[in-house]
Amino acid sequence: MLFGLPLLSLVIWIPIAIGLLVLATGDDRKAPVARIIAMVGSVLGFLVAIPLYTQFDPALSSMQFVEKHSWFERFNVYYHLGIDGISMPLILLNCFTTPLVIMAGWEVIKERVAQYMGAFLIMSGIVNGVFASLDAILFYTFWEASLLPMFLIIGVWGGANRVYAAIKFFLYTLLGSLLMLIAFIYLYQVSDGSFSILDYHKLPLPIEPQILIFIAFLLAFAVKVPMWPVHTWLPDAHVEAPTGGSVILAAILLKMGGYGFLRFSLPIVPDASQYLSGMMIALSLIAIVYIGLVALMQVDMKKLIAYSSIAHMGFVTLGFFLFNAYGLEGAMVQMLSHGFISAAMFLCIGVLYDRVHSRQIADYGGVANKMPVFAAFFMLFAMANAGLPGTSGFVGEFMVIMGAVKVNFWYAFLAATTLIFGAAYTLWLYKRVIFGEVANPAVEGLKDVSKREFAILAILAIAVLWIGVYPFPLTEVMHATVDELLAHVAQSKL
């Protein structure tokens, strides 16, 4: 704890407070002020999160930076925060992404600027709350609260079909999480009145309730990840969302689902997790192969990247249910790496969309002639998306494949098809958009990236390459937690 400050509370409430301040600037006449306050707030949010990494003790598997205050005493609900090697990197990812999103919307968003910037800051704080909560009710509150800003971002600043997409997003995820609430209430009953997630970890449970709880959690988390077959909200949401919304959705919100499996499903119901692992692996492999193929035929750039996201998240869930260190740490790395790469891919598409106002691949061609710097960035991120070694995209996939072969050769075989499909859909997209002769007057008039866009893409490029070349510091903080989790899952609770 740095100078005795409640760091976790700060990373949650600073963005929210500044977000409210941004909202208070009011209408668009004060937009420049709103932008600056939002930028300062998001950077501040990131700075406060840095000590979480530097002060983190990687040797400990227990919760760190713990804060616990009574909230509703009558129901044993606590304001209980703490992070371990699984949640800390996710909080950092979130705090890292928010300033980028604010920057990305800087000149692009011209209407209701304060509300747009404010929504992202508030969302950032809420998501930190999701990752840091150790109390089920607190967690559930943050979890549901995170829906609202995104619902508004899609519904207000989205594309033509935004209302359908926003409602589909909202209902899909809301229905999933209601069952999670029921599971919490059940656990509250059997644990003699505790909402502490850490208590649930130790709670012995017979197999039948374990399976029911697993399914309740599964619906909540699978929708978020999203896993096949509850994935169809994501392409629609992405297509309609503004660039910043897509970035946060792909980079951060999907990770909430993955995080849920690690914090709830695996440790609370380990026997059910083992028992149903075959099904989970099957669903993950379908996501990788089926969605990889579906991505190939997309004509809308954002939809293509959305499907590619689902396929990449398939590696995350596959890694979880292999129950070995390669798989689990690989899945974690994949989540973080996907955060950078999908953010970068959506930002790249945003750069094009801001200029041409079309997401259709067919409306582009020969962009490299007019935007060489952009083409170079896009190449790097496309290659990272295709899992090229030396980029972060490789690390997670590599580790998960190494873990999969230990369990069953054919799991690894199917997962490794991503080497082919991932490269196929990404490079084909790149070829049609970037290469070739200048396709039309709109492309002819393109201007290369501005300094602002260059800065955003360069930051992400450094992150992607750094993790690819030297992932050691990233995984180092996870070891103790992952080992502990694996040992915990191996022990029966029956």
CA distance 430 to 245: 23
Query: Token digits for 419?
Result: 């080497």
Would you say 480 and 58 are in contact if contact means Cβ atoms under 8 Å apart?
yes
Question: Tokens 């700075």 belong to which residue?
Answer: 47
Exactly one of 129, 267, 330, 339 binds other proteins (CB under 8 A); which one? 330
Exactly one of 427, 442, 459, 480 binds other proteins (CB under 8 A); which one? 427
466 touches other proteins (CB under 8 A): no
- Report how far apart, in Å, the C-alpha atoms of 245 and of each of 102, 116, 123, 153, 229 are: 11, 10, 11, 6, 23
**Residue among 19 and 226 whose Cβ is closer to other proteins:** 226
**Cβ neighbours of 36 (radius 10 Å):** 13
CA distance 218 to 434: 40
**Residue among 346 and 430 whose Cβ is closer to other proteins:** 430
* Contact map string, positions 110 to 129, toward other proteins, x by CB under 8 A: --------------------
Cis peptide before 204 (omega within 30 of 0): no
User: C-beta of 222: minimal distance to other proteins in Å?
Assistant: 13
- Report how far apart, in Å, the C-alpha atoms of 67 and of each of 82, 125, 233, 316 are: 6, 16, 36, 29
> What Rg, from alpha-carbon coordinates, does the chain have?
21
Exactly one of 64, 385, 475, 481 binds other proteins (CB under 8 A); which one? 475
User: C-beta of 229: minimal distance to other proteins in Å?
Assistant: 5
Exactly one of 23, 179, 293, 439 binds other proteins (CB under 8 A); which one? 293
401 touches other proteins (CB under 8 A): yes
Which amino acid, one-letter code, is at 97? Answer: T
**Residue among 329 and 453 whose Cβ is closer to other proteins:** 329
What is the three-class DSSP state of 65?
Answer: strand
Site for other proteins in 307-326 (CB under 8 A): 324-326
**Residue among 347 and 412 whose Cβ is closer to other proteins:** 412
Exactly one of 23, 296, 442, 480 binds other proteins (CB under 8 A); which one? 296
**Cβ neighbours of 402 (radius 10 Å):** 16
Exactly one of 352, 471, 477, 481 binds other proteins (CB under 8 A); which one? 471
Exactly one of 54, 204, 437, 441 binds other proteins (CB under 8 A); which one? 437
Query: Token digits for 440?
Result: 């039309």
Query: Token digits for 104?
Result: 């990305």
**Residue among 30 and 406 whose Cβ is closer to other proteins:** 406
431 touches other proteins (CB under 8 A): yes
Site for other proteins in 160-179 (CB under 8 A): 168, 172
CA distance 422 to 338: 13
402 touches other proteins (CB under 8 A): yes
User: C-beta of 262: minimal distance to other proteins in Å?
Assistant: 16
CA distance 162 to 151: 10
Q: Which residues of 461-475 are buried (b: 16+ CB within 10 A; e: fewer)?
A: bebbbebbeebeebb
329 touches other proteins (CB under 8 A): yes
Exactly one of 410, 440, 450, 492 binds other proteins (CB under 8 A); which one? 410
Residues at the site binding other proteins, with contacts judged by CB under 8 A: 168, 172, 229, 231-233, 290, 293-298, 324-326, 329-330, 366, 368-369, 379, 383, 388-390, 394-395, 398-399, 401-402, 404-406, 409-410, 412-413, 416-417, 419-420, 423-424, 427-428, 431, 434-437, 470-472, 475-476, 479
